[in-house]
Structure 1
Amino acid sequence: MLNYKQLQEDFKRLIENNKLSHAYLFFGGDEKEKFIFAQSLANFLENGVFEEPVKLLKETLIISNDNTSQLKKKKGISIDEIRSLKYFLWQKPTHSGRRVAIIKEAECLTPEAQNAALKIVEEPPESALIIFIARSHDSLFPTLSSRLQKIYFYPKADKRGSKTWVNADKSIDLYESIEKVVEDNQIDDFFQGLISRLMQNPVKNSRQLKETLNRLVLIKQFNTNKRLQLRALKGSL
């Protein structure tokens, strides 16, 4: 839910402090935006520029259901492609501190491919960075998903425009009036303000962040009752 620029700064700080994880799951939001961010991150690691690369990155491998044949596309991303990813990751990087593997449409990984990916994630090469891009946080097997750092991308803002509650106090005001949040169609603003506030101390608030993201996914992807989800969230925080 953090905006694009803020995510950039967060990842730059992780890299600077040598705290970058070896495996992430980018979910939610716009598919193209998540892919561009993953490429931009890889470009930053290789060239020091956090923007979409204009030329092929030497230390990045992209696996996608898009670039398979139509026959393979129906079957998903195969275990053979994950094996090639493993070979790629174990090569020593020469132009960057990391070798980056980006898996688009990760929900298309076959069960065999997910099991193979799990083994890589469990024992990754020191210089590996694997980014799974999927629609939902539960698109992958729980055994694999649980080992990935999850980054939620917020849907693009309504073109009509809406007020963003980036101020923590305002998010709390909204939180105290569930009816107003729902009736004024301020769900997006409410969650953005709440998560921004919780992210001020992500370690301390890790449980609350997880619960907030789970409720947001239920509202966005499964069209559940908004009032009930907000009340349940209020009771769990």
Structure 2
Amino acid sequence: MEISDRYHSLNAAIYPWFEEQWQRVLRLHNDNHLPHALLLSGMPGIGKARLAESIAGYVMCHQPQTNSACGQCRSCVLLNSSGHPDLYFLRPEEKGKPIKVDQVRQLTEFMHNTAQQGGYRVVVLEPAESMNISAANALLKTLEEPGRDTLLILITHQLGQVLPTVKSRCQRLDCHPPDETVAVEWLVEALSVEYQEALQLLKVVHGAPLAGVDFKQQGHQALRADFLTALRDILRQRKSPPEVAGQFLKADLDLLLGWLQGLLADITRILLMGSDELVRNKDMQKMLKGVAKNSTKDKIFTLADLIQFERLGLQRRQNPNKQLLLERILIDWSALVRT
């Protein structure tokens, strides 16, 4: 691993929706009860990594203030510039790949060294669920005997995928998505958009404001619009499932399945409530009502379960045939409104 992969400067600002978690960590630290390992769990796109960096910056500060790091001591200067030698980031070597046992062994070497700047040594590991069995087992000894003034911060987007033996050695810090009003106001300022656009964007990304920023900045609006139009064309028998699958072969499959999963959740809301009042994908309201009227709960739930199963497989780094997987799901989508 290159040294630039281990260390980088921090962006340690607290999002308003994490104030409760932040105050909890401050109390633990100030009362000398900070555990040696924290497990930050929550959905992707809400800012857990930023919270982890804020925690790291605070505990490593030599002159912490009441509610924040001082920003001026030698440690803070290092954290906010080229990086701090006592702060270690551990992530997969490639996106979508597992954290390997050799990476954890390198981490163990770091943990055995003396802090170069005095005070805490901090490790931020993300995502915890990406460790393979060997890597997770190798981490256990470090979690059991981390050494003095050492903090490991593990971040997980899929708590159920983290080994119980790892979870049991960490103190959990659950990170919930923000209140809708707080998130929308934050998006309005972050993206310089109108309130209604921010509200619709937040609904599309299931309440995760940072995911909303990525969605907007990476231009996913056009891809989503094309995909949802193709789904409507399948229902109208204007396009076949294999044709649509081939059209989106180069797209992020998990992203597509997430959007389809969101549509099914909206259809379920309509079926169970007899109303479209709580529909999130407002721009597809007419199609959603049509599917709900002409389909059944069993068909909707079966397809939703299939998509969830396939998304878990993708997150576990399985490498399926994208064309065949998407074709299978789109065939079931086309069958929702047919006898």
CA shift for structure 1 position 128: 1.6
Give, in whole Å, the separation in 1 of the partners of 2:114 and 2:86: 9
1:135-146 → structure 2 map (5 Å cutoff): 135-146=157-168
**Residue 58 (1) aligns with residue 85 (2):** yes
Structure 1: runs of 5+ lacking an equivalent: 162-181, 186-221, 223-237
Structure 2: runs of 5+ lacking an equivalent: 1-15, 185-198, 203-271, 279-307, 309-339
Give, in whole Å, the separation in 2 of the partners of 1:151 and 1:139: 16
Q: How big is the alpha-carbon RMSD for the aligned residues of Structure 1 and Structure 2?
A: 2.8
**What letter corresponds to residue 34 of structure 2 in structure 1?**
L
1:219-234 → structure 2 map (5 Å cutoff): none
Higher helix share: 2
Aligned to 2:53: 39
Q: Which has the higher contact order (CA 8 A, sep 6+)?
A: 1
- The number of equivalent residue pairs is 160
Superposed CA deviations along residues 202-228 of structure 1, whole A, max 9, x for unmatched, are xxxxxxxxxxxxxxxxxxxx8xxxxxx
User: Contact conserved, 1:99 with 1:127, CA < 8 A, in 2?
Assistant: yes
Residue 30 to residue 96, structure 1, CA distance change in 2 (3 Å):
farther
**What letter corresponds to residue 93 of structure 1 in structure 2?**
A
Superposed CA deviations along residues 79-109 of structure 1, whole A, max 9, x for unmatched, are 1111111111122224252111110111111
- State the TM-score, normalized to the length of structure 2: 0.43
Aligned to 1:154: 176
- Percent identity reads 26
Aligned to 2:155: 133
Structure with max Cα Rg:
2
Aligned to 1:216: none
SS of 1:138's partner is helix
SS of 1:101's partner is strand
Residue 91 to residue 115, structure 1, CA distance change in 2 (3 Å):
same
Give, in whole Å, the separation in 1 of the partners of 2:118 and 2:45: 26
Aligned to 1:13: 27
